Structure 1
Amino acid sequence: MIGETRKKPRVAMLITSLAGGGAEKAVSMLLQGFNPERYELHLIVNRKEGPYLSLLPSYVHVSEMNAPRLRSAWKAYIRTLRQVRPDIVISHMWENNVLNVVGRRLSGLRFGTVLCEHSSISRHRGKGVNMMRRWCYKRADAVVGCSHMMGEELKDILKVPRSLVHVIYNAVLNESFYRRANESVEHHWLQQGMVKGRTSRDSEVLEDTADQAGHLGGLASKIPVLLGLGRLSPEKRYDLLIEAVYLLHQRGHKVRALIIGEGAERERLTQLIGDRGLESWVELPGYASNPLPILRLADIYVQCSDVEGLPTALIEAVALGTSIVATRTATGTEEVLEGIHSALLVPCGDVEAMVDALEAQLEQLDVQQQDNEVPNVPIHSGIGDYTESESSREIAVSYTDSMDTQFQRLNKFTLSYVVEQYEALIRDVLQKHGIEETPLPNNFSPTEAITKEGGTVRRGVSR
C-alpha cells in the first residue's frame, strides 16, 4: 500500500478469469513479460479458470474473489484488496475497470488505478453503462486503449481527459511464437509444413519475414481451407463464414472451413451448417490451446467480426504470412493491416462482399500455384491492386513493399515492446502516488530486448 516501504512495488492485474479470449491472453502475456525482480506480481480474478492459467509463472500470486456476479463483486474485491494491499491495480474490460475505481473509493486504501479497454466503445453498451464508465474513468490515474481508434473513442465518447489516455497495443508475439507455430497438427484437411526461421528467440518473430517460405498450406491442399479463429460468440459473426462457404460453392469454388473456438453460438452454428448441407465442408473442432499451426497451414484467415478491440488472431495471421479477408471493424483491424500484404478488408455484415474478396484471394492462390510460387508469404503479392468494382465492395488495404515498415509494424505487438510501455506507465503512476521503484542491479539485462538483426537479450536476472 502507498506509504509503506517495500523492496518492490506490488502490481496487481484484475480480470474476470483467464478464459480463452484476447484480453485474457494479453493479461497472461504481460504477467509472463513483467520482471519479477522489479515487481511483486499479483493476479486478481473472479473465477480461477481458463487455459491461460497454466501459462502463468510460478511467482505470480493468484487471488480468487468467486463472486456470484461480477457487478455485485465489490465486497469480495474490497476484501481481496485488503489482503493483497497493492500499490497499483491494472484492470481489464469495462466491468472490472468500474470495479477497480469503486473498490479504491470504498476500501479506504490508496493505490494507483490503470484501466484497460479491449473492445470498441462505439458499437455497444447503453447510455447507463457509458455514464457509469465516464464517471469512473475520469477518476482513474490512467486509461489504456489497445488501439489508436479506441483511444479516440475514450476521449470522444467517454470524455476521458486527454492527459489520462494512453495507447498501448496488446502483446501478441514473443520468443516462442514460431516454435509454437511449427508444432504439428493432425487435422486431415491440412498439409504439414514448417515456417522457416530460427524459432528459439523472440527476435526472430520479426526477422526475415520474407523468408517464411515453409508456409505450404495453399500449395499442398487440393481443396483450400478457410479459417475462423476465436470465441463462438454473436459478435464474431461466424454465420457469415458459413454462408460464404455456401455461396462460394454456388459459384463453383470448393472450399472448406475450420472454425476454431468454443462458446454459446455452437448450437446455432451447427444448425446453420446442417441447413446449408455443409457437414462435410465446415467443421467446429472446438477450442485449441495452440491454434498457431492451424493458422500457419490454412489458406485464408477470415475475420468476420462486427466488433474488435485489437484482433489478436489477425496479428498472428500477419506474422505467419497467411492470406487474409477481414471485416472493417470500428477499431483495431485497419491499424493492424495498414501497410500489410495479402489482406482485403470488407464491410461488417456484408456476406456478398466477403465472398467477392474470398474469391479474389482464391484466384490469387491459383495463380501462385500455377507459377510454382509459395502462397501466403508476407511479400508483395499484387493483391493490393484488387479494387472496388460493380460486383464488389471490398476495400483494399494500402500496401507497401518496405520490409523495414513491416518490421516496425509488427514490433509494436511484441511482448518486449509492450512491457516497456507498461513499465513506463506504471512508473509514472507510482511516482504520482509517491512510490519510487527500487533500482535494478547494474548487471541486469532488460526484458527480452529485440533487434531487427536478431540479437536477443532474454528476461534479465542478476549474473
Structure 2
Amino acid sequence: MNGRATVLLVIPHLGGGGAERVFTLLAGGLNPARFDIHLALVTQWNAAEFELPTWVTVHGIGARRVRAGWWGLLRLIWRLRPRVILSGMAHLNMLLLILRPLFPRNTRILVRQNGCIRAAGSISAYRKLYPKADAVVCQTAAMAGDLAKVAGVKRNLRVLPNPVDLEKTRAAALSGPNLWSGPGPHLLAVGRLAPEKGFDLLLQAFAKVRERFPSADLTIVGEGRERRALEMLAWLLGVRQAARLLGHVEQPAIWFKGATAFVLSSRHEALPNAVLEAASAGLPIVATAVSEGLLDLMRGDPGVWIAKEASAEAIAEALGEALERVTPDTRFAHSWVEAFSKDRAIAAYEACIDESLAEPVR
C-alpha cells in the first residue's frame, strides 16, 4: 500500500502483561509513513478498550486458545500477505514457525523471546523451530547468550530493548493522589499471579518483614490463576489485612506515588517491563537474582537491593536492608533505564525490520 511494507504484529491478547504492553507500544509507535501496521489478537475479538492509533488495523481472531487459532491466523496472513510478521510470546512463536511452510513465500518472521528459556518446558522445540525464524529478538545480551548455548540459536539473534513509555509512566507516578494509607513502609509488586513470579515467596518474606516493621503493608497488582492460593497463604501467614491483591490495574504506575519500594520476587524472569517502569519513576528496587541480564543493568546501583537467591529468607533479608535506608519519599536516578525509552527502542525495532527485509527469505 503506497510503497509501505505491511507489518503484522501477533499477540494472544492485549492487557495484563509486559509483553502485551510492549506490543501496544510497538503498534502505536512504528512509523505509519513507512509501514502498514496490523495487529492480530489470537484469543481476543477486539481491542476496543485499548488506546491504539487509528492507523493500526486490529484483527480479532477470538480463538479459545492460541493453538486453536492456527486456521484464523493462516487465513489472515494470506489475506494481508504481510512482508513481516512479528510475534511476541513463546508458544505463539512456535505455532507461527510450524505454520511457516504454508505462508506466502516472501513472508519474514521475527519472534520475540519473552521469557527465560531455561524455564521453558521443551528445549528441543526451541532447537528445532527458532533457527527457522528470520530473527529472534532478545531483551538482553544474557538472554541471547542463553538461547545460543541452550537452544543452539546463533546467527539470527538480535538484542533489542523493551520499549517503555518513560514520560507517561513518570507523569502517572507524579500526578493524582497518594493511594497508600498508614505510616508504611509501603511495598509494591506487579505481575501475573503465576508460580514463576514468586508471590508466595514474597508473602512469606513479608510476614518476616512485619516482625521488624509492624506497620508495613504490601500491594500486589496483577491477576492470574494463583489468586485464591495466594489469598489463602496470606490468611495462613496472618498478613491478610496488610497484604492486598488488587487484580488487574490498567496503569500500575498510579501506585508508584508514595510507595516505599518495588519488589521483584520472581523465581525466573527475563526483563519484566514492570521493573523498568518502577525504575523510570525512581522507586527503590528489591529484586531476586533471577536474570543475568537484569543483574547486569542493576548491579552497583545504590537504589537496588539484590536478594541472594529466590527464597523467602533472602527476599526478607534484602527487604530489611532496603527498608532501613529508605522512606516512602526516597527516590533514585536509575539512569540505566533510559536505554529503554520508547523512541529509542522502537527505532531499534524498525532497524531490525529493515534488516530482515533486505535479506533473502529463509
Given the two structures, how large is their TM-score scaled by the length of structure 1?
0.73
Q: CA deviation at 1:363?
A: 1.2
Alignment-derived partner of residue 208 in structure 1: none
Alpha-carbon distance in structure 2 between the residues aligned to 1:363 and 1:50: 47
Alpha-carbon distance in structure 1 between the residues aligned to 2:45 and 2:311: 36
Q: Is the 8 A contact 1:229 1:261 kept in 2?
A: yes
Q: Is the 8 A contact 2:178 2:255 kept in 1?
A: no
Q: Is the 8 A contact 1:19 1:50 kept in 2?
A: no
Alignment-derived partner of residue 359 in structure 1: 320
* Pairing 1:281-296 to 2, within 5 Å after superposition: 281-296=242-257
2:59 partner amino acid: S
Q: CA deviation at 1:14?
A: 1.0
Count, aligned residues: 361
Alignment-derived partner of residue 450 in structure 1: none
Alpha-carbon distance in structure 1 between the residues aligned to 2:46 and 2:297: 27
1:95 aligns with 2:96: no
Alignment match of 1:345 (pick from 301, 306, 309)? 306
2:222 partner amino acid: G
1:58 aligns with 2:49: no
* Pairing 1:6-405 to 2, within 5 Å after superposition: 6-48=2-44, 54-126=50-122, 130-161=123-154, 163-185=155-177, 187-189=179-181, 222-251=183-212, 253-365=214-326, 375-378=329-332
1:420/1:271 Cα in 2 relative to 1: closer, same or farther (>3 Å)? Answer: same
1:142/1:252 Cα in 2 relative to 1: closer, same or farther (>3 Å)? Answer: closer
Q: CA deviation at 1:170?
A: 0.7
Alpha-carbon distance in structure 1 between the residues aligned to 2:170 and 2:179: 19
Q: Is the 8 A contact 2:164 2:340 kept in 1?
A: yes
Alignment-derived partner of residue 353 in structure 2: 426
Alpha-carbon distance in structure 1 between the residues aligned to 2:210 and 2:47: 36
Residue-by-residue CA offset, 1:236-281 (whole Å, 9 max, x unaligned): 1111221122112234543111111111111011111111222321
2:248 partner amino acid: Y
1:285/1:378 Cα in 2 relative to 1: closer, same or farther (>3 Å)? Answer: same
Q: CA deviation at 1:19?
A: 2.8
Q: CA deviation at 1:340?
A: 2.6
Q: Give the secondary structure class of the aligned counterpart of 1:122.
A: helix
Residue-by-residue CA offset, 1:77-116 (whole Å, 9 max, x unaligned): 2111111210100111112112222233123442111111
Q: Give the secondary structure class of the aligned counterpart of 1:258.
A: strand
1:83 partner amino acid: R
Q: CA deviation at 1:349?
A: 2.8
1:289/1:158 Cα in 2 relative to 1: closer, same or farther (>3 Å)? Answer: same
Q: CA deviation at 1:49?
A: 6.1
Q: Is the 8 A contact 2:40 2:59 kept in 1?
A: yes
Residue-by-residue CA offset, 1:5-42 (whole Å, 9 max, x unaligned): 85100011111111311111111111121111111000
Alpha-carbon distance in structure 1 between the residues aligned to 2:177 and 2:271: 26
1:422 partner amino acid: Y
Residue-by-residue CA offset, 1:345-366 (whole Å, 9 max, x unaligned): 1134321121111111111136
1:248/1:411 Cα in 2 relative to 1: closer, same or farther (>3 Å)? Answer: closer
Q: Is the 8 A contact 2:178 2:257 kept in 1?
A: no
Residue-by-residue CA offset, 1:137-183 (whole Å, 9 max, x unaligned): 1111111111111111111111112x211101111134423222223
Mean Cα deviation higher: 237-246 or 8-17? 237-246
1:262 partner amino acid: E
Residue-by-residue CA offset, 1:431-460 (whole Å, 9 max, x unaligned): 1249xxxxxxxxxxxxxxxxxxxxxxxxxx
Q: Is the 8 A contact 2:187 2:217 kept in 1?
A: yes
Q: CA deviation at 1:50?
A: 8.7
Alpha-carbon distance in structure 1 between the residues aligned to 2:355 and 2:37: 18
1:125/1:172 Cα in 2 relative to 1: closer, same or farther (>3 Å)? Answer: same
Alignment-derived partner of residue 386 in structure 1: none
Alpha-carbon distance in structure 2 between the residues aligned to 1:240 and 1:50: 36
Alpha-carbon distance in structure 2 between the residues aligned to 1:365 and 1:306: 25
Alpha-carbon distance in structure 1 between the residues aligned to 2:296 and 2:53: 31
Q: CA deviation at 1:377?
A: 2.1
Alpha-carbon distance in structure 1 between the residues aligned to 2:241 and 2:189: 17
Residue identity over aligned pairs, in percent, reads 28
Q: Is the 8 A contact 2:288 2:308 kept in 1?
A: yes
Alpha-carbon distance in structure 1 between the residues aligned to 2:56 and 2:235: 45
| Structure 1 unaligned regions, length at least 5 | 190-220, 367-373, 380-405, 435-463
Given the two structures, how large is their TM-score scaled by the length of structure 2?
0.93
Alignment-derived partner of residue 415 in structure 1: 342
Q: Root-mean-square deviation (CA), in Å?
A: 2.2
Alignment-derived partner of residue 218 in structure 1: none
Alpha-carbon distance in structure 2 between the residues aligned to 1:286 and 1:68: 22
Alpha-carbon distance in structure 1 between the residues aligned to 2:224 and 2:121: 21
